[in-house]
């Protein structure tokens, strides 16, 4: 791609190389000057802090231990800043400007424009160095920065045209479709494998159990043998299931019986079946039912009288207000 663009317009490529090289060379002293100003500003701030510390210490406002600790910290930072300032001043004063040779690089590109394979001698002639940075992030979003410096022109970042960007986009879409198709194929294979495995296991169970999905069991209540339709089924039917539940309830009551209760009708002490039982016999239940009926009847009569009284009072008030 680089070779096609260079051969197509040699003069424009040479001008682009010179412009980018000048921008790169101007960027180095400008950044060093900014860092130098920031370092000098911090150095002056440390001078003010040290003066303030000494005044507070002599006035008795700062303990000696804290004074020595802060002084050591600020002094160490100033020493580091002095070294950095010296380096930055040297960079701003003595910027090494290296000349580029675009003509020689263009000759190399023309020399290798029709090659089909990248060889070691070709790389030695074209590439000065390759800088590989540590990887960042984790899969699948892991990235790694690589910088390539060419002979005679240094680092060159290729600016893609609209046609090249469209070609790259289409190629990425094709690769994404291939990855998705491959993932779907793996999912289908896994599904078919699991399905085949389940069918094979079911066929083995049916062969072992005379065509039934689960082994034969014996009901613990009636002793009858049966073929369960579920792996956790214990009893042969609903009747035995209810009998087992009732038996478990009786055993639980025998083990932890409820305390004796006093009948709310006759006042006799009795042993209840459960904690909700409040009546000792059917006669007391009948009497309790009669009492509740009377209470409901008197309640309904009272509510009716209250409703009639409210209606009469409303009619009386409306009669007084009418002219």
Residue 11 has pLDDT above 60, yes or no: no
Residue count of the chain, please give it. Answer: 323
Q: Please tell me the predicted confidence (pLDDT) of residue 186.
A: 93
pLDDT in tens, 246-289: 888 888 777 777 788 899 989 899 888 877 888 999 999 999 99
pLDDT in tens, 101-145: 666 767 777 776 667 777 888 888 878 888 888 888 777 778 888
Query: What's the chain's Rg over C-alpha atoms?
Result: 48
pLDDT in tens, 40-61: 888 888 888 888 887 887 877 7
Q: Please tell me the predicted confidence (pLDDT) of residue 322.
A: 61
Does the model's pTM come out above 0.95?
no
Which residues neighbour 110 within 8 Å (Cβ) at sequence distance 6 or greater?
A: 3, 7
pLDDT band at 7 (very low <50, low <70, confident <90, very high): very low
Question: Measured between alpha carbons, how far is 301 from 127 in angstroms, rounded to an integer?
Answer: 108
pLDDT in tens, 153-182: 666 665 666 777 788 889 889 998 999 999
Q: Please tell me the predicted confidence (pLDDT) of residue 161.
A: 65
| Cβ atoms within 10 Å of 13's Cβ, excluding its own | 20
Question: Measured between alpha carbons, how far is 239 from 229 in angstroms, rounded to an integer?
Answer: 17
Distance of CA 95 to the CA centre of its chain: 48
Q: Please tell me the predicted confidence (pLDDT) of residue 96.
A: 45
């Amino acid at each position: 791609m680089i070779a096609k663009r260079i051969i197509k317009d040699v003069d424009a490529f040479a001008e682009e190389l010179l412009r980018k090289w000048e921008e790169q060379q101007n960027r180095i002293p400008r950044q060093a000057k900014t860092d130098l100003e920031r370092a000098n500003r911090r150095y002056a701030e440390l001078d003010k802090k040290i003066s303030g510390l000494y005044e507070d210490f002599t006035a008795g406002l700062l303990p000696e231990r804290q004074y020595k600790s802060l002084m050591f910290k600020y002094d160490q930072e100033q020493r580091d800043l002095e070294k950095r300032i010296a380096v930055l001043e040297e960079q701003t004063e003595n910027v090494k400007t290296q000349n580029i040779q675009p003509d020689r690089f263009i000759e190399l590109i023309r020399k290798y424009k029709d090659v089909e394979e990248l060889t070691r001698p070709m790389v030695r002639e074209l590439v000065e160095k390759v800088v590989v940075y540590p990887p960042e992030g984790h899969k699948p979003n892991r990235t790694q920065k690589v910088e390539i410096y060419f002979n005679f022109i240094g680092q060159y970042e290729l600016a893609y045209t609209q046609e090249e960007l469209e070609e790259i986009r289409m190629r990425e879409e094709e690769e994404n479709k291939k990855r998705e198709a491959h993932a779907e194929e793996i999912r289908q294979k896994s599904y078919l494998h699991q399905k085949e495995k389940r069918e094979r296991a079911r066929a083995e169970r049916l062969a072992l159990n005379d065509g039934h999905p689960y082994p034969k069991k014996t009901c613990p209540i009636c002793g009858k043998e049966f073929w369960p339709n579920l792996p956790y089924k214990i009893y042969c039917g609903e009747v035995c299931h209810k009998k087992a539940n009732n038996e478990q309830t009786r055993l639980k009551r025998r083990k932890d019986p409820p305390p004796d209760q006093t009948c709310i009708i006759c006042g006799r002490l009795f042993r209840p079946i459960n904690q909700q039982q409040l009546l000792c016999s059917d006669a007391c239940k009948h009497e309790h039912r009669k009492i509740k009926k009377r209470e409901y009847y008197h309640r309904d009569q009272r509510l009716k009288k209250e409703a009639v009284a409210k209606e009469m009072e409303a009619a009386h008030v409306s009669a007084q207000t009418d002219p």
